Amino acid sequence: MRTFARVLHAVVAGVVVVTIGHGVAAAGPTGSADGLLPWSATGPDGVQAAGAALADGITGTVLWSREANTPVPIASIAKVMTAVVVIASGDLERPVTVPAEAFAYCGKHGGSTAGLSAGEVLTARQLLYGLLLPSGCDAAYALADSYGPGQEGFLRRMNETAALMGLAGTHFSDPSGLPDPTDYSTYSTPANLVALGVRAMNLPVFREIVAARDYFVPAGPGNREHAWATTNRLLREYPGAIGIKTGNTDAAGHCLLFETVRAGIPLIGVVLHSSDHSSIVAKDDAERILNWAYDPILRVLPAAG
């Protein structure tokens, strides 16, 4: 835990200097001599997730983890990589026609949808909102088909991007994270996912989209009206939350990749298989981890909130 304190101390060093300059004692609440931010040596209490990690949001340095390098199914968190590949490709005003095949694809595994209709045309940018807020598997299919080109081409690009990022414990067999062809064929690790999250959140378009609680697409010549709301409970309920993505399948359970900024300090984390049945448990796991990290900081900087 001393190493943990030193790592995050480096992240918040500028804040700490200002605090000391205003007369706040350098020692934390326990009076420990080696750092301003004394965490419990046992880690956050009550976390249900089978796998989890918390990292600083600047470098991606993992600060606390559980099964950090164990590959497991990640469900719709896979859509983060789908979005990264699309955004990196550019041309986000490209008109994308929603293929009829997208609906059999969603229905086969009971995938969540953005309520798209076969043949309607939206821009890639609009579909990214449909992908990341309501977790539309229909939007994932449409984007993959357009940008692959084709599903296989797009999956190849997803895996090539993962390799370039050094995500050795990650593989994608589906652009939505659906269990196709098997429950375990799309997978990643907690450490890999926070690294992916850091890279994704460095993309301004991605960052803007996942910070949105709602998004409205008015009816146009080629599309229906759509009103999308985020599935990320943390974004609505936790101070400083700025994203990122939920996930849920039978094998993956309820998962959440998240980022927050409090007291000017970005933290990024993930919880995997927090519950078989409830996204609230995943949200609560994320809150426990974040509070464990932030509470000592906020006690030193009571006005930071």
pLDDT category of residue 297 using cuts at 50, 70 and 90? confident
pLDDT at 300: 77
Q: 184-234, pLDDT tens digit by residue?
A: 999 999 999 999 999 999 999 999 999 999 999 999 999 999 999 999 999
pLDDT tens readout for residues 226-281: 999 999 999 999 999 999 999 999 999 999 999 999 989 999 999 999 999 999 99
| Packing angle of the helix pair 13-21, 2-11 (nearest 10 deg) | 80
Q: What is the mean pLDDT of residues 133-150?
A: 96
Give the residue numbers spanning the domain of 294: 2-300
Q: Is the pLDDT of residue 294 over 60?
A: yes
Name the domain count of the chain: 1
Which residue in 65, 112, 135, 176 is the catalytic one?
A: 135
User: Which of 32, 40, 65, 76 is an active site residue?
Assistant: 76
Half-sphere exposure of 66 (CA within 13 A, CB side): 20
Q: Is the pLDDT of residue 7 over 60?
A: no
| Structural domain contains residue 83 | yes
> Is residue 241 a part of any domain in this protein?
yes
Q: What is the pLDDT of residue 4?
A: 42
108 is catalytic: no
What is the per-residue pLDDT across 152-167, written as a single tens digit (0 to 9) for each? 999 999 999 999 999 9
pLDDT at 73: 98
* CATH code of the domain in which 32 resides: 3.40.710.10
Residue 5 has pLDDT above 90, yes or no: no
For the question of residue 79 being annotated catalytic, the response is: yes
Q: Could you tell me if residue 15 is inside a domain?
A: yes
SS3 assignment for the chain: CHHHHHHHHHHCHHHHHHHHHCCCCCCCCCCCCCCCCCCCCCCCCCCCCCEEEEEECCCCCEEEEECCCCCEECHHHHHHHHHHHHHHHCCCCCEEECCCHHHHHHHHCCCCCCCCCCCCEEEHHHHHHHHHCCCCHHHHHHHHHHHCCCHHHHHHHHHHHHHHCCCCCCECCCCCCCCCCCCCCCEECHHHHHHHHHHHHCCHHHHHHHCCCEEEECCECCECCEEEECCCHHHHHCCCEEEEEEEEECCCEEEEEEEEEECCEEEEEEEECCCCCCHHHHHHHHHHHHHHHHHHHHHHCCCCC
Mean pLDDT for 271-294 is: 96
Q: What is the pLDDT of residue 109?
A: 87
**Residue 76 covered by a domain:** yes
139 located within any domain: yes
Question: Does residue 305 lie in a domain region?
Answer: no
Q: Residue 42 above 80 pLDDT?
A: no
Q: What is the pLDDT of residue 305?
A: 56
Higher pLDDT, 148 or 35: 148
**pLDDT, averaged across the chain:** 88
Cβ atoms within 10 Å of 281's Cβ, excluding its own: 20
Cβ pair 148, 136 in contact under 8 A: no
Residue 303: pLDDT band by 50, 70, 90 thresholds? low
The string of pLDDT tens digits covering residues 100-140 is 999 999 999 899 999 999 999 999 999 999 999 999 999 99
Catalytic one of 65, 79, 173, 283:
79
Query: What backbone torsions phi and psi does residue 271 show, to the nearest 5 degrees?
Result: -125, 135
Is residue 233 in some structural domain? yes
Mean pLDDT calculated for residue range 40-62: 89
Residue 34 lies in a domain: yes
